[in-house]
Amino acid sequence: MTNAPAAEASAEPMTHRQIMEALSGILLGLFVAILSSTIVSNALPRIISDLHGSQTSYTWVVTATLLAMTATTPIWGKLADLTSKKLLVQLALVIYVAGSALAGLSQNTSMLIGCRVIQGIGVGGLTALAQVVMAAMISPRERGRYSGYLGATFALATVGGPLIGGVIVDTPWLGWRWCFYVGVPFAVLALVILQKTLKLPVVKREVSIDYLGATLISAGVSLLLVWVSLAGRNYDWVSWQTAAMVIGAFALLGLAVRVESRATEPIIPLWLFKERTIVLAVIGSLAVGLAMMSASVFLSQYFQIARGKSPTVSGLMTLPMIGGLVIASTVIGKLITATGLWKRYLVGGAVSLMIGLCLMGTARADTNLWVLGVYMFLVGVGVGALQQNLVLAVQNAVPMHQLGAASSVVAFFRSLGGAVGVSALGAVMATKVTGYLSDGGLHAGAGGGAGIPNVRELQEPARGIVEGAYGHSVGDIFLFAAPFGLIALIAVLLIKEVPLQSNQAVVVAKADPTGDDTGDAAGSVDGADAAKGTAGTRLDKAEARTR
């Protein structure tokens, strides 16, 4: 490997324009990743109805992607510390395109779920690597500003996804299959832009990846999610199946911890959990993931089934939540860059998230839409304030050569929270719907116990009973999620604030005319070295004046 001084001699800090050019392909790739989730979540009631799926199938179409994304996120993060980040992003895009194309050809829910797993592997790479690439180019102090761009991209995809999905589903000559095809051109365009604009140096380290640890982690998490999604319907929560799955999952995860503790290059370095900031950020991220995914998945059912809206209108109905997310992520990102402080914004976001979830728990089929919009706005503000900035807090606490692993750990647990949340709350949803339908005098199959209903085809009084059952059930779902908002608040209150570094060495090798970034180079050095005055360090002008 090229020694650091040599690499630093040919390196120079990136300007704002260079950073934005390099981030353009990453942001487009992230847009594609988020779009794949939001566009499908709004179209799922129609998709599952056409494919004759059940509430369990509905949940698993979402969970499959989250599961694959969760299980592979640490692997992508570790690979980013070992090899070309650019190559990894491009590989993730290719995997995503393949999964999307196959998902559009699905003939039943089983095939769709399998294709969503492939999509999830690609999405896991895109979401994990976006933060890693940004951290490789931008100092923690300046990173808050650019995190706002990530938040804006997330919001744009979240806004555009349901609207595009709704229009596609409501357009007879297109059909829901185009919900999967529509992201493919964006992914191809992102590949082209990345090849031209993203030029990062690579620190190649001749080490083997801990595949055994990765396999054990994936297997343990997968078994837990399978148990959570099936318990209560296929078997009782207290049963021999539950005991077998839970014991098996913890045995696999325990073995994974043992393997990781002895691995030269563990997928999830266990020393990370000795850092208080990382542990608390992980806890907060679990809650954020649960709130974020629960809102996106179950609100589509609420508006389409409990309120009888079309997919397009359902997408428009979520705008208050997206507005809160956009405002929080962009404004707070700039405030963090300006002040170098971040904890106050995390605390405010956690308070907003907790209050929003509690209020959403009062939702019913006849709740005033303007009032519901205020509740959704509060949830959006909470997610926007917490999502990117929890990663930022962690990145500020680790050396540069561990950014990939540390960032992916937070993303991993955020995805895990979303996956477990959707699985567990989906199981609760199915049980609640069945119960409320029975109370109204309808059997389960009439309202979603065996399949997702199309309320516009139902006659009164059945329609009113189904709408009331789904409205009340979705409200209960958010009430179950509310305690996790409190957990997030406690976690961020306990985090010790460390002002963001602005003197961390963030240097990038001069662009290779060929556009190839796979040569050996020391692209970045530890923040500790930077503090000692390592070449390539650039302090903020404001701080320079104080010296």
Cis peptide before 201 (omega within 30 of 0): no
Euclidean distance between CA atoms 232 and 428, whole angstroms: 8
Q: Is the residue at 526 inside a domain? A: no
Residues 276 and 245 in one domain: no
* β partners of residue 520: 202
**Number of folded domains in the chain?**
2
With respect to residue 521, please indicate whether it lies within any of the assigned structural domains. Answer: no
pLDDT computed for residue 45 by the predictor: 77
140 and 33 in contact (C-beta within 8 Å)? Answer: no
Closest CA to 94 of 202, 208, 200, 194: 194
Identify the CATH number of the domain in which residue 479 sits: 1.20.1250.20
Look at residue 122 and tell me if it is in a domain.
Answer: yes
Contact between 470 and 444 (Cβ < 8 Å): no
Check residue 370 and give its pLDDT: 95
Residues 183 and 35 in one domain: yes
What is the model's pLDDT at position 95? 92
pLDDT in tens, 53-79: 776 677 778 778 877 887 787 788 778
In a domain, 516, yes or no: no
Q: Are 181 and 104 in contact (CB under 8 A)?
A: yes
Which stretches of the chain score pLDDT less than 50?
1-11, 446-450, 503-547
The reply to whether 321 and 286 lie within a common domain is yes
Asked whether residue 515 is domain-assigned, the answer is no
Task: Please give the radius of gyration of the chain, using alpha carbons only, rounded to the nearest integer.
Answer: 23
Residue 350, domain member (yes or no): yes
Cis peptide before 266 (omega within 30 of 0): no
Helical H runs in 276-368? 276-301, 311-317, 319-339, 343-360
Judgement on whether residues 217 and 344 belong to the same structural domain of the protein: no
Give the separation between CA 520 and CA 513, rounded to whole angstroms: 16
Q: Are residues 307 and 454 in the same domain?
A: yes
The full DSSP string for 45-65 is HHHHHHTT--HHHHHHHHHHH
Please check whether residues 185 and 220 belong to one and the same domain: no
169 and 237 share one domain:
no
264: its two tokens? 């030269």
Last residue of a domain, one of 508, 525, 542: 508
Do 163 and 215 share a structural domain? no
DSSP assignments along 317-335, one per residue: HTHHHHHHHHHHHHHHHHH
Are 494 and 425 part of one and the same domain? yes
The length of the chain, given as a count of residues = 547
Out of 264, 285, 310, pick the residue that ends a domain: 264
Task: Indicate if 463 and 431 belong to the same structural domain.
Answer: yes
Residue 158: per-residue pLDDT:
65
CA atoms within 13 A on the CB side of 407: 31
| Structure confidence at residue 545 (pLDDT) | 37
Give yes or no: residues 284 and 423 share one domain.
Answer: yes
Q: Tell me the residue range of the domain where 466 lies.
A: 4-209+265-508
Whole-prediction pTM? 0.73
- Asked whether residue 533 is assigned to any structural domain, the reply reads no
- Whether 123 is covered by a domain: the verdict is yes
Residue 273 and residue 227 share a domain: no
Q: Which of 239, 264, 289 is the last residue of a domain?
A: 264
